[in-house]
Structure 1
Amino acid sequence: MVGIGFNGHAQEELFGGQQIVSPEIHEDDTVTFRFMAPNADSVKLTGDFLPTEKIKTPMGEMDVPKKVSLTKDDKGIWTYTTEALSPELYSYSFLVDDLKAIDPNNPFLIRDVASVTNVLLVGDGQADLYRVNDVPHGSVAKRWYDSPGLDMDRRLTIYTPPGYESSTEKYPVLYLLHGAGGDEEAWMDLGRTSQIMDNLIAQGTAKPMIVVMPNGNVSQDAAPGLGSDGYFKPQFMAPQTMNGTYEYNFMDIIKFTENNYRVIADKEHRAIAGLSMGGFHSYHISRYYPNTFDYVGLFSAALMPREDASGKVYTDIDKGLKTQMENGYNLYWIGIGKTDFLYKANEEYRKKLDHMGMPYEYVESEGGHIWRNWRIYLSQFAPKLF
């Protein structure tokens, strides 16, 4: 008889060598984290549920989660229990003797730029929008489109609402753009877009719509590991990302969508929104093509001036905004966290709009430049569309 060809260690991993529950979510919404490391001198935990501290970065001061120490028992298991957490999708990781480690007892991971962290869902309320609930579900496709302006085929993600495949109905479209370091995977994996849209549509608070999530890094044809460049380490700012090339060629994405999906192809049924760099892109795309979108959403938008913003798209900015305003639109929506490092830039931009007499809706939330805010902004913005 031929034996099965894997060693004892692999077998132990396969059948769960560590019989530890981590994270353990309690009925009172406290959470216990555990990590087995009998030979470690210290184990710490960091996560976006912890208090924050400010650090200096090339972009200015930013809030980052603090670290807390776990307590070791006589079996070598380190433990930490949080206070009761608000309903939310949280991410976390460990530091074992100051070396970052994922939780070996939690297989659920997300990638944000080049960092991989574990995730957990806590509580009801807002977190219910991020769950896969017993409601009709839309479909998510990864499609390739031809971009003549960028001279390549490029990948994007498209959400179609429940019932799309079985109907003949035409739908409005939201173009949803990611931030620096993201790609066409970001709004799905980190933003929970399909869950949010399924749940909002099921509640009747958002109309059924198609959501197009492109890759905003014009030097890439797809997310790292999913395109022709193969496996490479993601970087925060890819070349040419904010120099006007993406905005100038955005109509290639709209053309592909309107040629391949049943959409209502007019201004009144198009929306564009984005976070951070995607907010910068949304601002300039909607202004440069001023009679294209009836709904614009700027989520923690990177609106500060840029030295490399010298392309054709960035000429006559005020004139483009004035034309956009005179053409009319249904909604111009701005959201920013009170401690976001881009707060000042957004404040200055709102002063410009006020001076022009350009109407907008403004939401100021707690927290900084974080996915927690951007998921909330999407859940607030989508019900206002169409």
Structure 2
Amino acid sequence: MKRVSLLAITLLMCTITFAQQALWGGAPVVSPEIHDNNTVTFRLKAPKAVRVQVTGDFLPTQKITTPFGEFDGPGMGELVEGKDGVWEYTTPEPLAPELYSYSFIVDGLRMMDPANVYMIRDVSTVTNVFIIGGGRADLYKVNDVPHGTVSRMWYNSPTLGMDRRLTVYTPAGYETSGKRYPVFYLLHGMGGDEEAWIALGRTAQILDNLIAQGKAKPMIVVMTNGNAAQEAAPGESSLGFAAPSMQLPKTMEGTFETAFPDVVKFVDKTFRTIKSKSGRAIAGLSMGGYHSLHISKQNPDMFNYVGLFSAAIMPDKNVKSPIYEDMEGKLKTQFAKKPALYWIGIGKADFLYKANEDYRKLLDENGYKYTYYETGEGHIWKNWRIYLTEFTPLLFK
């Protein structure tokens, strides 16, 4: 009996050891490794590779030409092969506090870092991510503060004739307080969806931290899907695992703006909200800024706070919709009702900078008051997270 038990234990230990070896594949490669001085080392075990590169937004930018224009894209760094086929690259300078994304390119094939399980999807691109803490970037981290709740919810849109999904953040204490809360509607850019702001924008972390620091009022944040032809984000609807795309119908031709009151009605019915203009804000990035501009002017009694983050301004000249008619007349009505805050933020290298500059001239010529915030760089999530941290503390004062 003892001999059988010993044999069973030996077999069990061998099985566990084998399973661990299969699971981990030997000694782990550490990547990325953030050093005390905030330089970062990236590693990849690829003994048969000829060339390994890392690309990410922590590297100097390079020009990339797309169907939508020329953009500043992530640069490249060359990894050097070392012992046991482990390739390595260390940033020549310390990185500033920020949330960074990256991926590897191995002999021309783009791949994720197998040593880093933290990944984010942006439209159809998936990248690994890491955070360098300090300063504003500490707002992007999960800190030891009271945490809000993030829910994915479905609502019916009579205007669009379908059920649709949105993401909702409720602040810490919402479930038990019995209080009514203001609502901030936060809209994504082209190709994004109701997951974009919560994943790439770190909305829940930013709101948790700003509220805990007393810099922002407790509020509900509603993140919609701005693609009026979609039920929900890719993989989250009856379409199944459909490929994400930026080429979607019903995005910037008036349909979403027309249907937006359906969202407000659902939120006011479902949550304990302040059901008045003073308790509502709307903002968005790029296409979402475009939507925010036109929804707010179309409904001048609905939103007291408006934020345009790197916003597109006007539709394509071939687009015809009542939403975009009489732009100046609708702006005159909106500003006559004195919104508490009209906020515009954009990066100096943004391809939409000139459109925003022209729009600000229009506002200036008519004496319409607004707050302007300019950053460096271009049409990137780094800027949009900054704008969120700047805009949110100004709400509902």
Q: TM-score range by the shorter chain?
A: over 0.9
**2:362 is aligned with 1:352:** yes
Alpha-carbon distance between aligned partners in 1 of 2:318 and 2:221, rounded to the nearest angstrom: 30
What is residue 46 of structure 1 aligned with on the other side? Answer: 55
**2:36 is aligned with 1:27:** yes
Post-superposition shift, 1:57?
2.2
| Partner AA of 2:328 in structure 1 | D
**2:175 is aligned with 1:162:** no
Alpha-carbon distance between aligned partners in 1 of 2:61 and 2:298, rounded to the nearest angstrom: 38
Post-superposition shift, 1:123?
2.2
| Partner AA of 1:369 in structure 2 | H
What is residue 332 of structure 1 aligned with on the other side? Answer: 342
What is residue 136 of structure 2 aligned with on the other side? Answer: 126
**Mapping of residues 210-225 of structure 1, within 5 Å:** 210-225=220-235
Post-superposition shift, 1:355?
1.2
Which of 141, 150, 163 is residue 151 of structure 2 equivalent to?
141
Specify the structure having the higher radius of gyration (Cα). Answer: 2
Secondary structure in 2 matching 1:142 = strand
Of the structure 1 ranges 348-357 and 241-250, higher mean CA displacement relative to structure 2 is found in 348-357
Gaps of 5+ in 1: none
Which of 255, 258, 281 is residue 268 of structure 2 equivalent to?
258
Post-superposition shift, 1:317?
1.1
Alpha-carbon distance between aligned partners in 1 of 2:135 and 2:94, rounded to the nearest angstrom: 14
Equivalent pair of 2:252/2:315 in contact (CA under 8 Å): no
Alpha-carbon distance between aligned partners in 2 of 1:285 and 1:240, rounded to the nearest angstrom: 15
Which of 209, 223, 230 is residue 219 of structure 2 equivalent to?
209
The Cα offsets for residues 304-343 of structure 1, whole Å up to 9 and x where unpaired, read as: 4413531121111111111101111100000000111111
Gaps of 5+ in 2: 1-7
| Partner AA of 1:59 in structure 2 | F
Q: Judging changes above 3 Å, is the alpha-carbon distance between structure 1 residues 330 and 9 closer, same or farther for their aligned structure 2 residues?
A: farther
Q: Judging changes above 3 Å, is the alpha-carbon distance between structure 1 residues 107 and 337 closer, same or farther for their aligned structure 2 residues?
A: same
Of the structure 1 ranges 123-132 and 375-384, higher mean CA displacement relative to structure 2 is found in 123-132
| Greater fraction of residues in helix | 2
Secondary structure in 1 matching 2:83 = coil
Alpha-carbon distance between aligned partners in 1 of 2:19 and 2:140, rounded to the nearest angstrom: 34
Alpha-carbon distance between aligned partners in 1 of 2:25 and 2:115, rounded to the nearest angstrom: 8
Post-superposition shift, 1:367?
1.0
Equivalent pair of 1:243/1:308 in contact (CA under 8 Å): no
Post-superposition shift, 1:249?
0.6
Secondary structure in 1 matching 2:237 = coil
Which of 197, 218, 227 is residue 237 of structure 2 equivalent to?
227
Which of 185, 200, 213 is residue 190 of structure 1 equivalent to?
200
Alpha-carbon distance between aligned partners in 1 of 2:31 and 2:83, rounded to the nearest angstrom: 18
Of the structure 1 ranges 70-79 and 303-312, higher mean CA displacement relative to structure 2 is found in 303-312
Post-superposition shift, 1:236?
1.1
The Cα offsets for residues 254-299 of structure 1, whole Å up to 9 and x where unpaired, read as: 0000000000000011000000000000000001111111000000
Alpha-carbon distance between aligned partners in 2 of 1:13 and 1:159, rounded to the nearest angstrom: 40
What is residue 382 of structure 1 aligned with on the other side? Answer: 392
Q: Judging changes above 3 Å, is the alpha-carbon distance between structure 1 residues 77 and 15 closer, same or farther for their aligned structure 2 residues?
A: closer
TM-score, normalised with respect to structure 1: 0.96
Alpha-carbon distance between aligned partners in 2 of 1:10 and 1:116, rounded to the nearest angstrom: 29
The Cα offsets for residues 68-98 of structure 1, whole Å up to 9 and x where unpaired, read as: 1111113111100112001011000000001
What is residue 62 of structure 1 aligned with on the other side? Answer: 71
What is residue 257 of structure 2 aligned with on the other side? Answer: 247
